[in-house]
Structure 1
């Protein structure tokens, strides 16, 4: 193999990311689960870089739920950790507690990374249910809706 080609291969890489269609399917499933559970919520599905691909807000979800859902997904994808676990590991007195003060970081349950073939390809964030545990239920339903389309 020529040296130039070898160097070019080392200078680039290919990475998988969630498609907008898969993101929409996950967001719809999460929103529907929240509705069935009696919650008005917002759902964001972000790509692997933390950018929102899809954001859905139920008609009576509070105005704060939009940014919160987007930022829960952002937190989950950038820290590669669900936000319920993130909340525990960054609480006051923990060595990592200072990261909670960074912009866009939300330490409340409801944000979950989405993995495919061992890599994080995006994340889902839900806001509006009463508490992070209820938001987690909706987020997990969103991921379950696209599970068969992800490589494991």
Structure 2
């Protein structure tokens, strides 16, 4: 009987000491922006586009694609809200900035069908926000006369928070 209890206690101690390791192996941590940093990024993106005399909407989504921050400039078109969110979502979902996706989704290219998937927007202005090589969020800008300008403004949004991402 003593041997059985001793074996049982030994097994219980082993199980308790192994549990944290198993829990760590069964989960992972993803970087994520706090709301204030996400808002700082969208404000900087909108400001950068204003300086180019264009009105846009900027959105930040978390690494799961959920909208975290949004700012629509006064005269940005109503379509720019959904488009900015979709650009950010697309960059996070495909782990590629939307300007790069544009090049691989042209007719005859390997990614051609991607643009037909729900919520995907293959126009410049969607970028990943990286922290230590991992996606923390995405930013999308919509409303400038070209995807290239949207992309520049999204970059300005990321640049504004870069020091806080270290």
TM-score (norm 1): 0.96
- Aligned ranges for residues 65-80 of structure 1 at < 5 Å? 65-80=80-95
Name the counterpart of 1:47: 62
Runs of 4+ in 1 over 3 A off after TM superposition: none
Unaligned runs of 5+ in 1: none
Which residue, 22, 36, 50 being the options, matches 2:51? 36
Shift of 1:3: 2.8
Name the counterpart of 1:17: 32
Unaligned runs of 5+ in 2: 1-13
Instruction: Work out the CA distance in 2 between the residues paired with 1:48 and 1:62.
Output: 26
Which residue, 118, 129, 134 being the options, matches 2:133? 118
CA offsets, 1:97-148, max 9 Å, x none?
A: 1111111100000001000111110011000000100101110100000010
Query: Structure 1 or 2: larger helix share?
Result: 2
TM-score (norm 2): 0.88
Larger radius of gyration: 2
- Number of aligned residues: 151
CA offsets, 1:9-64, max 9 Å, x none?
A: 21111111111111000000000111111001000011111111011101111110
Name the counterpart of 1:86: 101
Give the superposed CA RMSD: 1.0
CA offsets, 1:57-114, max 9 Å, x none?
A: 0111111000000000000011111100011011111122111111110000000100
Name the counterpart of 2:74: 59
**Is 1:143 matched with 2:163?**
no
| Aligned 8 A contact 1:72 1:106 in 2 | yes
Instruction: Work out the CA distance in 2 between the residues paired with 1:9 and 1:147.
Output: 29
